[in-house]
Amino acid sequence: MKGFLGIDIGTANSKALLLSEEGTVIYTWSKPTPHVRVSGLDFFDINKIEKVVEQFISEARKRCQLKSVSFSSVGESVVPVKNGKAIENPLIWHEDNFAIDKKIINFIEQYAGFENTGVNHSKTYAIYKMIWLQEHLLHQIPDFWLPISSYFIYRKTGCAIWDTSQAGRSYVYNIHQRKWIEDITGELIPAKLGDIGMIGTCCGYYDGIIYGLGGHDHYVGLYGIYELHGNTEIFYDSMGSSSVLAMVKKDPHKKLGGRNTYNPKGGSLVTGFNKQEYIVNRSFDYYGRVISCLINIRGDCADNAYYNNLNIKIGKNIKNMRPCLITCKNDFNRASDKIKSINFLHVSEKASFEEMVLGGYYYLALCTQHMFNDLLKFCSDTKQTMFYFAGGGIVNNDLFMKLKATVLGREVMTPKVSEISALGAAISAVKAAGYEDILPYAKNNLLDGNKIYPDRQYEPLGKEMMQQYEEINK
């Protein structure tokens, strides 16, 4: 039996999904992603992660004739490579607690900016991590800088290449011209960045296995859904510790360039998977962490059974509940401009734990609605026909997904596999190996999953919550 392996290197966990030639999942694995903390900064332990990767590949080869492998990983984190291997650990993607000379920032801003890069300025981007590592930790000039998803391709094939989604998190990639901004790289980065390619590109062979180009985890997940669904315009809601709502749009008339899609709070524009195509994004950093915070208040350990029991309690008394109000950094509430994490704006002294969790559910659903309504501005008359897919571990929470569909006022589709980034990496492995005939079978087996519809019983409370949040913003 032939197999195709997708490996996803996440912030907390690394996961692998083995896809068969019949389009079914043979096996999945999960292991914690190794970290290391040095001088107050968080790094990925790249050598230990490589051992995890090798374990995944070894286990996959025991179960099938492994044809190809591809990777997805977090963005922004970059590996300095010298003589074929890493010479320093990459900073974790969200790390920005380091100083960069303001003159350098101003220089970068002359040539970068949303108009060229499609993203708002942030010190988390790869360019700043490269500069800081060069100045403080490296004792030699690297041969290349590579994102984690590309580093393991390079280790196997010697091919130094970024995909467009990882390049888009560098802040030195022009998403319209599809090339590096050499005015910045030539001045500030003595090492090479490598070539730029598309997800699903064949990068080479090693030990009888084809290695295909993956990319940024959210976009690799989107790529998998996009390929399985048939290369049509879609919405994809990737829900993890953070949330990214992405819309794939063809742009033959070049209406999405410049600042037309600019949004100061978590908006971005990314090179699409085909010519004349873009991915318009809206994102929210504190998604899964909101529910985790609420559960941690009681010190509980939550699994699917825990949420099922909790949701039963909520469902029995939901009409009489008064959920709390929440706000987080960079959400749609005016109060979010002055905070750094998760705040509870209104919690009754008699509030039950179930009411607090329900408040969290509605809050996340309303955050998605806000992002969705913003994206609809770019949809014209196609907005009613574009499919809406959602992925991530929280799709297993039936009550939350019903509330979400109700607040959005539309059908939400959830694939049968919750690990969408690993699935997307497996699909890119399939494409790289030239086995596209598998995709229709995989679509039937994996994509055509549950359909969640709006439920009228949850509408009144959802509207009430929305009105309360609107009052805060007056």
Closest listed residue to residue 266, CA positions, set 291, 245, 235, 241:
245
Strand, helix or coil for residue 4: strand
Under 8 Å between Cβ of 409 and 206: no
The conformation of residue 91, written as its DSSP 8-state character, comes to B
Residue 381: per-residue pLDDT: 56
pTM: 0.89
Walk along the chain (474 residues) and give the pLDDT tens digit of each residue.
999 999 999 998 999 999 999 999 999 999 999 999 998 999 999 999 999 999 999 999 999 999 999 999 999 999 999 999 999 999 999 899 899 999 999 999 999 999 999 999 999 999 999 999 999 999 999 999 999 999 999 999 999 999 999 999 999 999 999 999 999 999 999 999 999 999 999 999 999 999 999 999 989 999 999 999 987 888 999 888 788 899 998 888 888 888 889 988 778 999 999 888 999 999 888 888 888 888 888 887 878 888 899 999 998 888 888 888 888 887 887 777 777 788 888 777 778 889 999 999 999 999 999 999 999 888 765 555 789 999 888 888 999 999 999 999 999 999 988 889 999 999 999 999 999 999 999 999 998 768 999 999 999 999 999 998 888 877
Under 8 Å between Cβ of 420 and 60: no
Under 8 Å between Cβ of 223 and 248: no
DSSP string, 212-251: EEEEEHHHHHHHHHHHHHTS--EEEEEESSSEEEEEEEE-
**Tokens 């041969």 identify what position?**
143
Under 8 Å between Cβ of 388 and 235: yes
In order of their start, the domains of the chain are: 2-217 (3.30.420.40)
The conformation of residue 403, written as its DSSP 8-state character, comes to H
Under 8 Å between Cβ of 171 and 118: no
The conformation of residue 409, written as its DSSP 8-state character, comes to T
Residues 178, 164: Cα–Cα separation, whole Å = 8
